[in-house]
């Protein structure tokens, strides 16, 4: 395992311990709304701080982009940037619905090289290194071999922060609901992407995501043999926030449907 991936795993497990401990007293959680339908707890902050401490100890010169604290120094001009979501699926966590994860990625010159997604409730550790494949608890994983959209299970996420493009989204949702075996909205994009990488879902689409929601998961899908793009079929998903992913054959059937309904949504 690459040294930087080892550090990411150590940081993710430490955050997972904090999250699991907090599930024992969910009634005591202090919850704050960052914006409508977007919540943060002191657990998010504590988990993020634990992750940053592990990374800073090993790589004090690296830059960090973290969900709760924003872009942090000291080395914002570094070639290396850690992209962190300490608790993806906070709303699920607040409700005691066990579908959430820690997501950590390391980018070098803007290209994600290492990825970790850790599900603390199931003790499932998803990892990937560019060029070296994707793994679940040290077992190599691949995207599904399913070829027909009609037999495929597709994950998605509602555009919960902004309803501006809800009509376009509902058009995508409606057509895919008619043409697939099923659509699911579990509520944690990082885990959704990890599930595509290991074949539990055949595809995924969502709009309005942040880099920390998908940096790790998109590398995993690529390393597991899948395809990832923005709504224009290009590779700018980390900047546009709009992503389509899946096994190659399913991806090729989802993308035209997304494009047919996307209207004025940026790529």
pLDDT digits (tens, 9 = 90+) for 92-151: 999 999 999 999 999 999 999 999 999 999 999 999 999 999 999 999 999 999 999 999
Q: What is the pLDDT of residue 39?
A: 64
Q: Domains of the chain (ranges plus CATH)?
A: 3-141 (3.30.540.10), 149-261 (3.40.190.80)
Q: How far is CA 206 from CA 56, 161, 226, 237, in A?
A: 32, 12, 16, 10
pLDDT for 148-196, tens place per residue?
999 999 999 988 666 778 889 999 999 999 999 999 999 999 999 999 9
87 half-sphere exposure, CB direction, 13 A CA radius: 31
Q: What is the pLDDT of residue 160?
A: 65
Residue 143 buriedness (CB in 10 A; 0-12 / 13-18 / 19+): buried
What is the gyration radius of the CA atoms in the chain, in angstroms? 17
Is residue 74 reached through a cis peptide bond, with omega within 30 degrees of 0 on the bond before it? yes
Cβ distance 263 to 231 under 8 Å?
A: no
Nearest to 62 by CA among 12, 106, 3: 106
**Residue 166 to residue 144: CA distance in whole angstroms:** 29
| Strand 63-66 with 38-41, pairing | unpaired
Q: What is the pLDDT of residue 72?
A: 63
pLDDT for 45-73, tens place per residue?
999 999 999 999 999 999 999 987 766 66
Residue matched to tokens 């004090």: 60
Residues 140/147/214/155 CA torsion (nearest 10 deg): -110
**Residue 128 to residue 195: CA distance in whole angstroms:** 13
Greatest Cα pair distance, the chain, in angstroms, is: 51
Phi, psi of 47 (to 5 degrees): -65, -40
**Residue 256 to residue 187: CA distance in whole angstroms:** 24
Question: Which residues, 6+ apart, have CB-to-CB distance to 71 below 8 Å?
Answer: 63, 64, 65
Q: What is the pLDDT of residue 58?
A: 97
Provide the whole-model pTM: 0.94
């Amino acid at each position: 395992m690459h040294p930087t991936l080892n550090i990411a795993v150590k940081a993710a497990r430490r955050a997972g311990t904090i999250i699991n401990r907090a599930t024992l007293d969910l009634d005591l959680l202090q919850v704050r709304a960052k914006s409508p339908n977007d919540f943060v707890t002191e657990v998010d902050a504590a988990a993020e701080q634990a992750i940053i401490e592990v990374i800073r100890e090993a790589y004090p010169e690296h830059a960090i982009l973290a969900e709760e604290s924003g872009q942090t120094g000291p080395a914002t001009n570094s070639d290396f940037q850690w992209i962190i979501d300490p608790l993806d699926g906070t709303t699920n966590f607040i409700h005691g619905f066990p579908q959430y994860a820690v997501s950590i990625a390391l980018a070098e010159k803007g290209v994600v090289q290492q990825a970790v997604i850790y599900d603390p409730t199931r003790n499932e550790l998803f990892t990937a290194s560019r060029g070296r494949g994707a793994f679940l608890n040290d077992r190599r994983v691949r995207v599904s071999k399913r070829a027909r959209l009609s037999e495929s299970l597709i994950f998605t996420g509602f555009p919960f922060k902004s309803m501006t493009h809800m009509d376009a989204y509902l058009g995508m949702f409606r057509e895919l609901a008619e043409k697939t075996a099923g659509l699911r909205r579990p509520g944690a994009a990082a885990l959704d992407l990890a599930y595509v990488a290991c074949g539990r879902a055949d595809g995924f689409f969502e709009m309005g995501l942040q880099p920390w929601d998908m940096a790790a998961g998109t590398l995993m899908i690529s390393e597991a043999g899948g395809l990832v793009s923005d709504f224009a079929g290009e590779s700018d998903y980390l900047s546009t926030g709009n992503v389509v992913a899946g096994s190659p054959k399913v991806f090729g059937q989802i993308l035209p449907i997304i494009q047919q309904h996307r209207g004025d949504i940026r790529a």
